[in-house]
Structure 1
Amino acid sequence: MSTDVTSAAAEFARRQQSPLQRVQHQLHRRPWLSPLFLLVAAFIGFFIATPTFLTPNSMGILLQQTAIVAALAVGQTLIILTAGIDLSVGAIMVLSMMVMATLAKDDGMPGILALLIGVALAVGAGFLNGLLVTRINLPPFIVTLGTLSIFTAIALLYSGGSSIQAEHLPRLLNFLGEGFGIGEFRITWGIVVVILIYAVMAYVLSQTAWGRYVYAVGDDPESARLSGVPSKRVLLAVYTVAGLVYGLAAWILIGRAGAATPNAVPDANLQSITAVVIGGTSLFGGRGRLIGTLIGALIVQTLQFGLSQMGVDQQWRVLATGILVIVAVAIDQWIRKVKS
């Protein structure tokens, strides 16, 4: 009887909601809906503005450009879900890339061994960030701001500030830049690896106890701790797994760029954070999905690619990205005010 009364009350409350409140509730339950709408609108707008935008060749290039940001955004999503932020994503990726490329240059070391060492270094860098956050209780912003400078400096010192071209590297390190075509539409193996990363991490977050712990820690760390969740171990694991993803992103970047350079993707940090926020993951933690992050990464690159095809200056593209971030955070704030 009480169940029927509760259901009736819920139905009555739903009918009393205004259309705007219903939209707010839907976005609270499915935060990836608003970025999906924005992505579709962007595709339509750019197609009208420049008919070459939706050609198979252009779409292949767009996906290749999205792969790096999308990969980095996976690790960034994990950390933001715990109400943290990682400013060192690009530095870890570049350091990992330069180490694996330098070790393997001109057959100095087998490609597989250099790759494993580079990825292990990225895992270690993420682990270090996690240790500083969980053991010394430093704010994630301060920790990763510091390690951003440290890892960037190490990468420059180790590489001597010079680039290593593809012809000096073993095929394994360049492999993810290869691919296959369907007509003019080309898919690289790097894109395939990014899709696999998303599939695995989406399963882990939605179907495992560890994934539920990540959301619990981000939503309310004290309540999670009192409920028996090992909050510090979960946080440490989050930063470590993020490091692993950054190491894989370094491998993808070598294939995409056709070289290893210490100055690669200078705005990787901004782009990864932008993709996560636009994708509906809350900066306050505890809410968000990787599908939204993937859509967010596509939006970031679609905006850059479409405006570039229209001949818009880089400064205006940066301005548009900044506006998107502010709008996305404002929408997140509004969604969080939803009344149950």
Structure 2
Amino acid sequence: MTTTAVPALRRALAQPTLGPLAALVLACVFFSTQSSRFLTTGNLSLVLQQVMEVGTLAVGQTLVILTAGIDLANGAVMALGGIVMTRLAVDNGVPPVLAIVLAIGLCAALGALNGTLVTRIKLPPFIVTLGMLNIASALTFLYSRQQTVTGLPSELNALGNTFPLGGAHIAYGSIVMLAAFAVAWYVLRKTATGRHIYAVGDNPEAARLTGISTRRLLVGVYTAAGALYGVAALLVVARSGVGDPNAGQTDNLDSITAVVLGGISLFGGRGSIVGTLFGALLVGVIRNGLQLIGVSSVYQLLITGVLVILAVSVDQLARRRRK
């Protein structure tokens, strides 16, 4: 190997997205050898549909975690947004598009409240979002009367429809998820706001001393994350065809799993949104593949948990080496 090739190889290995991509490829190779149905276009498009709401939640979760925070409430906020938009449209006669906008606005407002509590009262993000999880869950059950909302107008189901592409049927919601990742990538990599997010996550005091308004930035991050949870609410409603008060009960953990497997540091300031996409797809591939080969859902949770611990351990070891 030439002397010029060695530094290039080291730079490639240092890329935070390389590990998640390698894990995704290995998982695909393994399941393709175990089930002839895995690599079919129909099954792969199904995987993409299955991860579209968790993937969208993971975009918002990535923004929060990059600032060294965490959001335990995103699944509950998503469920509340779904119930609000469906009940407004079905029971209150609100035009569907306006119902969607109001629900996304509510989710963004809850995110802004989280950010305000974190920055103004100096409460830990874990505590704030744990409290918001319970509040949003209670509001969902109270507003829905614990009943599923059916008979949705076509506008609320539109993103669950599919279009043909190379023999596969791709849901429009999957395109929305990928668009959310693309916008987040652009903001994080190409704008001053993105650089400030990384700076605050790496060292908030140093970021403040350089002139970054850390309070405003954090409130903006939590607000944007809340809006993304509202978009995820629309996707889950479109995919299921109903407003379900029980939706998203484990999606908060699934979104954190996708972020961690994607190489985002839980300590903030390190990682790539592209890695989160690979992490979300990896979670979907593992669960889909295990279902195809007949593995119990209990073992699916077990394997996912082991992968999360391994990913966090690798991040912790890398952090210690940098010190």
Q: TM-score range by the shorter chain?
A: over 0.9
**Which ranges in structure 1 are unaligned for 5 or more consecutive residues?**
1-10
Letter in structure 1 aligned against 2:30: G
Q: Is 1:105 the equivalent of 2:105? A: no
Letter in structure 1 aligned against 2:232: A
- 8 Å contact from structure 2 (residues 152, 241) kept in 1: no
1:158 Cα deviation (Å)?
Answer: 0.2
Aligned to 2:31: 46
| TM superposition score normalised by structure 2 | 0.95
Pairing 1:1-340 to 2, within 5 Å after superposition: 26-27=12-13, 29-105=14-90, 108-165=93-150, 168-182=151-165, 184-339=167-322
- What is the SS of the residue equivalent to 2:37? helix
Whole-angstrom distance in 1 between the partners of 2:248 and 2:218: 27
Give aligned pairs, total: 320
- Cα deviation 1:20-39 (Å, max 9, x = unaligned): xx76x655x41110010000
Whole-angstrom distance in 1 between the partners of 2:291 and 2:243: 25
- What is the SS of the residue equivalent to 1:337? helix
User: What is the root-mean-square deviation in Å for CA atoms of aligned residues?
Assistant: 1.8
Letter in structure 2 aligned against 1:278: L
Whole-angstrom distance in 2 between the partners of 1:133 and 1:179: 40
1:337 Cα deviation (Å)?
Answer: 3.5
- Cα deviation 1:245-277 (Å, max 9, x = unaligned): 001111111111111101113210110000001
Whole-angstrom distance in 2 between the partners of 1:83 and 1:40: 29
Instruction: Quote the sequence identity (%).
Output: 48
Whole-angstrom distance in 1 between the partners of 2:105 and 2:291: 36
| TM superposition score normalised by structure 1 | 0.91
- 8 Å contact from structure 1 (residues 69, 271) kept in 2: yes
- What is the SS of the residue equivalent to 2:163? strand
Whole-angstrom distance in 2 between the partners of 1:265 and 1:141: 18
- What is the SS of the residue equivalent to 2:51? helix
Whole-angstrom distance in 1 between the partners of 2:256 and 2:67: 14
1:106 Cα deviation (Å)?
Answer: 5.6
1:182 Cα deviation (Å)?
Answer: 2.7
Whole-angstrom distance in 1 between the partners of 2:20 and 2:317: 15
- 8 Å contact from structure 2 (residues 109, 226) kept in 1: yes
Mark the structure with the bigger radius of gyration.
1
1:336 Cα deviation (Å)?
Answer: 2.2
Give structure 1 regions of 4+ aligned residues with deviation exceeding 4 angstroms.
none
- Cα deviation 1:89-140 (Å, max 9, x = unaligned): 0011000110000000167111011111101000001001001101110000
